[in-house]
Chain A
Amino acid sequence: MKKAVFHRPKQALSLRLIVFILASIFLIIADHRLDYLRIVRTHLLGLVYPIQYLVNLPIKTGQWLSVTASNRFLLIEEIDKLRAEKQLLQVTLQKFDALKNENERLRRLLGSPLKVGERVQMAEVLAVELEHSRRKITINKGKNDGVIVNQAVIDGHGVMGQVIHVGLFSSTVMLITDPEHELPVQVVRTGLRTIAKGIGAVNRLSLLGISNTGLNTGIKVGDLIVTSGAGEKFPKDYPVGTVIDVTPDIGQPFASVQALPRAVLERNSEVLLVW
């Protein structure tokens, strides 16, 4: 018995090599082109969640310890500060409610319905790293919490990105700064529509397709850009970023325009999922 195993013919190894190489190539193409593998990935992500959880655990424990050990007076001070901030926000919200009602009434008069009351859920960013050339994060909410592919992810300041892979207990989010990500946006001041594309840098967006002519009337440094709602993946009118550089490029049909994302992309520990 032992001998038979040891003298396994050489071809067996080469044969297995070829089978598994073909299987890999098939998987790569299928994963790139088709959606069939989405379910497979969901379950595999569920399977590896314990590993992600274990990596995340010491970091979260450290945070918990630092909160537990922090000074009582500092905490009281912070609560006071938060209370004041809450008061301020409530005052602003009152005005917002009035505006919302008025807006709804006007929309009704115009006969164009507006989607209001989006559902929001908080998720935690897991301290795990993905392939380092891309800008992606992992969050601790998945299929079991109702997360779906292409769902928008925001923080308190602006749009962060969208869910690209859903696992049972965790999901992968592609940030708007990822080189693969394109987001339909609009300049608030002039209504100019464009696409905000990530360039892989931590804190830069490139605005595409803005022609050199008429730069002055359409867009300038300091302009706020918001989601335009085109493509229907992102809800309309969430802030995306601020224009920081407009350079006409006469060698190209389009100007080079850069923006700074509003959302705190790389330092967040909590994010919001929007339905």
Chain B
Amino acid sequence: MSLDRHHGGWVIVLSFVFSFMLAILPMPAWASAWRPDWVAMILIYWCLALPLRVGVATAWFVGIIHDVLNDTLLGQHALGFVLIAYLAVKFHQQLRLFPVWQQAIGVFGMVALNQLLGIWIQSIFGYSEMRDSFIFPAFSSLLLWPWFFLILGDIQRKYKVV
């Protein structure tokens, strides 16, 4: 992993910072339940685009930061993100070839898995009850993915992140 092959690491870092900001932006309660899982979406994008640079380890650190910002148990989001990154990196060749709406279904599955895992961990430790609304962020992430994918693709090309 020599440094000269990699460019635009700051774009990756900034995109994560931006997604953290979107994740804690105050919103009315109904909108908050539908908030797309921005951080997971950014993670999936970079795992698909640069599977050698962004993977399980990045996902873990990003998850820990997300846990601190959301005041959840340390490791809760980290666990979900590690699984997401694993799936995205493992199947990045197939997912890249899919049309964008099929990719979106994959994103739906990964975000739903992350949400489900979060609720599951929380109820094991007695912090919250099972709710149906856990699936809402997966739906909104699914709907936003095609645009998200296009915009991030443009950004990646513009700043030559490889």
Residues of chain A touching chain B, judged by Cβ–Cβ distance below 8 Å, are 1-2, 5-6, 13, 16-17, 20-21, 23-28, 30-32, 37, 40-41, 44-45, 47-48, 51-52, 54-55, 59, 127-134, 136, 164-165, 172, 179-180
CB distance from B64 to the nearest CB of A (A): 7
Q: Which of A51, A59, A132, A133 contacts B69 (CB 8 A)?
A: A51
User: Given A44-B65, A129-B25, A179-B128: A28 and B73 within 8 A (CB)?
Assistant: yes
Give Cα distance in the complex from A39 to B81, angstroms.
24
Quick one: closest A residue to B82, CB to CB?
A20
The number of chain B residues with a CB under 8 A from chain A is: 43
User: Given A13-B56, A21-B82, A23-B60: A55 and B25 within 8 A (CB)?
Assistant: yes
B74 touches A16 (CB 8 A): no
Give Cα distance in the complex from A218 to B120, angstroms.
40
Give Cα distance in the complex from A130 to B127, angstroms.
14
A26 touches B75 (CB 8 A): yes
A17 touches B82 (CB 8 A): yes
Quick one: closest B residue to A43, CB to CB?
B68
User: Given the complex, which residues of A lie within 8 Å of B69, measured CB to CB?
Assistant: 48, 51-52, 128
Binds A, one of B26-34, B99-107, B138-146, B151-159: B26-34
User: Given the complex, which residues of B lie within 8 Å of A44, measured CB to CB?
Assistant: 64-65, 68
Q: A13-B55, A24-B82, A55-B26 are in contact. List 16 more A-B contacts (CB 8 A).
A: A20-B56, A20-B78, A20-B82, A24-B60, A25-B75, A27-B64, A27-B73, A27-B75, A51-B24, A52-B24, A131-B70, A131-B72, A134-B127, A134-B128, A164-B71, A180-B127
CB distance from B74 to the nearest CB of A (A): 4
B78 touches A24 (CB 8 A): yes
Give Cα distance in the complex from A165 to B68, angstroms.
10
Give Cα distance in the complex from A135 to B136, angstroms.
20
User: Given A5-B1, A27-B75, A54-B21: A20 and B68 within 8 A (CB)?
Assistant: no
Give Cα distance in the complex from A23 to B63, angstroms.
12
A16 touches B68 (CB 8 A): no
User: Given the complex, which residues of B lie within 8 Å of A6, measured CB to CB?
Assistant: 52
CB distance from B61 to the nearest CB of A (A): 10
